[in-house]
Chain A
Amino acid sequence: MNDSCLQIKNLGKDFGPKTALSGVTISLEKGEIMGLVGPNGAGKTTLIKLVMGLLHPTGGSIQIFGKDRNMLSRNDWRRVGYIADEPILYDFMTVRKLIDFNKNFYPRWDEDRCRELLLRFHLPVGEAIKNLSRGMKTQLALILALAQVPDLLILDEPLDGLDPLRRLEFLNLILEDFTRQEGRSVLISSHYLEELERIADRIAFLHEGELKRVVPMEQLKVEEKTIRVVFQKEPPAALLAMPGIKAVQKEGKTGYLITIEDNFNAIYEACCSYPHYVLEIYHRNLEDMFYDYAGRDEDGRS
């Protein structure tokens, strides 16, 4: 039995001669939150637009709820919530009018939840959309997406343009809603790595249209570390080539910075057992991993 909510296989997209996405394979499990990170132009928005059907793939396949995305029924699409990278809504409508327009598409629409969230965010229902700030529009887009009670929620850079307080509020709401509805899956792309680290179960790294790695947050917390060690004499080559070592950087004569992505305990014990002067452990976070793939020349925002 396939428990994938979203299954992307070998997905590619070319825009003329330019390849925006190539051979991406990701699976989002039921009840999972996956973060999508990568620098500007990595292909995050392209990937999401392909999933949502705004773009047509050049190759590969997308399955949602176990069905080919082109074969999804209206009822299947009703189970998918989406917030675009810019909260562009119909400016000529009022908040109330837009909610009414939206809810007519979704039979599972939760009006109580919608009302509760409107009150929580202090959104004026009689106000024209054009008069709302960007933050308010993002909040409204989130309310619309959550009130439709989706099983799969796809968020493309939803935190952009939100102040820290609103970002926190936004993520808390996603988590709160996530725990309310069993089996809901979330795919969220963001530049805010710290926030993603807090909510995501797994992180997918995209760079230059290719999927570099998908890493569970648990592994990142437990396994992804850097050991700084100064050995008393040159260590055996086998130690520095142990499985799970991602990179080795030499510092001075017998000093090493060993970046580990897996098998931490074994590598640590091997380092400890060899005579050394100094041995320190640095915990790596998502930002370190981001720089590993995107390069230090990036400004940290993708």
Chain B
Amino acid sequence: MAVRNIICKELHQMRWIIIIGLLVGFGLAVILASTFGYLDQIVEEIPPELFELLSQYEVTRELLAIFGDYTLYVWSQWHAKNLYQIGALFAIIIAATQFAGEVSRRTIGYYLTRPVSRREGYLAKVASGLLVLLIIFAGGTLMIWAVSAITGQTADWGRFFVALIISLVWLAAYYLLGTIISILNREPVTAGIIIGLSGILLSLPGMFAVSRPFSIFYQMRAVDYFIYGQSLFPPLIYGLILNGILLLIGLRVFAKKDF
């Protein structure tokens, strides 16, 4: 009851983030799903000799493949682009405002003196933050599916939604890291900048083939599962383990912190 009460309060407090997130998600989903027809037409109108020439280069070969396959196209634009970029941005905003924001608004004293333990206080906030990310990105994904159905496009939706689970698990890990940074800072802007900088650091392994699997953002795209056809379990299990570790660290940091 107490935790549910806090989750309701958090969702109320983040209502504008949810509304803006859904608008952005819906907007992107509509643009993404409705523009494929034009891009597909462009690819079809490419003269065969030019098509052959473009197929010789990896970058253009990939683009031609993406524009020629709707499943590949929606994944490349959603999981591999918008979801992890905008997802990371929302994760930063939510994490920074939830903890450092509560301190800077000086409501943390009121919050922590309700009859809930620190553990419940942290978990309720984290549950709300994750719920908001889920609402925004599940909402956007469902919108892609709906617009695709309206425009008559078909894709491998099963694989698409499974890949979304992998993406959200890794996005959750980045958000949880953000909550730890946010607890340790008193200003949401400072917390947001540090979370952003940590994101840049975490993206560095993704620049090299050998270290790519260690990048949160690489995993967020679900490339191994979606493109290379590998099992969904390794990225899912590793992601969940990382989430568990970060959650435990977050709980400990929040419990020990003086406010």
Q: Which A residues have a C-beta under 8 Å from some C-beta of B?
A: 49, 52-56, 74-75, 77-78, 80, 82, 84, 86, 88-93, 97, 101-102, 104-106
Q: Are B109 and A88 in contact (CB under 8 A)?
A: yes
Residue interface mask B112-145, A partner, CB < 8 A = 1 = 1111111000000000000000000000000000
The answer to whether A104 and B1 touch (CB under 8 A), given A55-B259, A74-B116, A91-B105, is yes
Chain B residues lying within 8 Å of A53, measured Cβ to Cβ, are 112-113, 118
Q: Are B259 and A89 in contact (CB under 8 A)?
A: no
- SS class of chain A's interface: helix, strand, loop or mixed? loop
Q: Which residue of B8, B110, B258 has the most chain A CB atoms within 10 A of its CB atom?
A: B110
Q: How far is the CA of A91 from the CA of B102 in the complex (A)?
A: 11
Name the one of A49, A89, A92 contacting B12, with C-beta atoms under 8 angstroms.
A92
Interface size on B, residues (CB 8 A): 23
The answer to whether A54 and B113 touch (CB under 8 A), given A90-B13, A104-B1, A104-B2, is yes
Q: How far is the CA of A49 from the CA of B112 in the complex (A)?
A: 11
Q: Is the CB of B159 closer than 8 A to any CB of chain A?
A: no
Chain B residues lying within 8 Å of A75, measured Cβ to Cβ, are 115
Chain B residues lying within 8 Å of A90, measured Cβ to Cβ, are 9, 13, 107, 110
Q: Are B114 and A105 in contact (CB under 8 A)?
A: yes
Q: How far is the CA of A105 from the CA of B124 in the complex (A)?
A: 14
Q: Is the CB of B106 closer than 8 A to any CB of chain A?
A: yes
8 closest residue pairs by CB, A with B: A77-B115, A104-B5, A88-B106, A84-B109, A78-B115, A55-B258, A82-B113, A54-B259
Q: Are B115 and A54 in contact (CB under 8 A)?
A: no
Chain B residues lying within 8 Å of A86, measured Cβ to Cβ, are 106
B135 to chain A, nearest CB (A): 19
Chain A residues lying within 8 Å of B259, measured Cβ to Cβ, are 49, 54-55
Q: Are A89 and B258 in contact (CB under 8 A)?
A: no
Q: List 10 A-B contacts (CB under 8 A).
A: A52-B109, A53-B112, A53-B113, A54-B258, A82-B113, A88-B105, A88-B107, A88-B109, A93-B12, A105-B2
Chain B residues lying within 8 Å of A56, measured Cβ to Cβ, are 256, 258
Q: How far is the CA of A101 from the CA of B9 in the complex (A)?
A: 7
Q: Which B residues have a C-beta under 8 Å from some C-beta of A?
A: 1-2, 5, 8-9, 12-13, 105-110, 112-118, 256, 258-259
Chain B residues lying within 8 Å of A89, measured Cβ to Cβ, are 107, 110
The answer to whether A101 and B5 touch (CB under 8 A), given A55-B258, A88-B110, is yes
Q: How far is the CA of A97 from the CA of B258 in the complex (A)?
A: 28
Q: Are B13 and A92 in contact (CB under 8 A)?
A: yes
The answer to whether A84 and B110 touch (CB under 8 A), given A101-B9, A105-B5, is yes
Q: What is the chain A residue whose CB lies nearest that of B2?
A: A105
Chain A residues lying within 8 Å of B113, measured Cβ to Cβ, are 52-54, 80, 82, 84
Q: What is the chain B residue whose CB lies nearest that of A52?
A: B113
B38 to chain A, nearest CB (A): 43
B186 to chain A, nearest CB (A): 14
Q: How far is the CA of A104 from the CA of B3 in the complex (A)?
A: 10
The answer to whether A74 and B106 touch (CB under 8 A), given A55-B258, A55-B259, A104-B2, is no
Q: How far is the CA of A97 from the CA of B1 in the complex (A)?
A: 16
A116 to chain B, nearest CB (A): 23
B101 to chain A, nearest CB (A): 11
Chain A residues lying within 8 Å of B105, measured Cβ to Cβ, are 88, 91
Q: How far is the CA of A56 from the CA of B115 in the complex (A)?
A: 17
Q: How far is the CA of A54 from the CA of B116 in the complex (A)?
A: 12
Q: Are A54 and B112 in contact (CB under 8 A)?
A: yes
Chain B residues lying within 8 Å of A97, measured Cβ to Cβ, are 12
Chain A residues lying within 8 Å of B9, measured Cβ to Cβ, are 90, 101
Chain B residues lying within 8 Å of A52, measured Cβ to Cβ, are 109, 112-113
B109 to chain A, nearest CB (A): 5
Q: Which residue of B108, B112, B113, B116 has the most chain A CB atoms within 10 A of its CB atom?
A: B113
B25 to chain A, nearest CB (A): 23
Q: Which residue of B12, B105, B115, B118 has the most chain A CB atoms within 10 A of its CB atom?
A: B115
Q: How far is the CA of A82 from the CA of B112 in the complex (A)?
A: 11
Q: How far is the CA of A74 from the CA of B117 in the complex (A)?
A: 8
Q: Which residue of B2, B106, B109 has the most chain A CB atoms within 10 A of its CB atom?
A: B109
Q: Are A54 and B5 in contact (CB under 8 A)?
A: no
Q: How far is the CA of A189 from the CA of B112 in the complex (A)?
A: 20
Chain A residues lying within 8 Å of B114, measured Cβ to Cβ, are 102, 105
Chain B residues lying within 8 Å of A102, measured Cβ to Cβ, are 114
Further pairs besides A84-B113, A105-B115: 15, Cβ < 8 Å:
A49-B259, A54-B108, A54-B113, A54-B258, A78-B115, A82-B113, A89-B107, A90-B9, A90-B107, A90-B110, A91-B105, A92-B12, A92-B13, A104-B1, A105-B5
Chain A residues lying within 8 Å of B118, measured Cβ to Cβ, are 53
Q: How far is the CA of A86 from the CA of B107 in the complex (A)?
A: 10
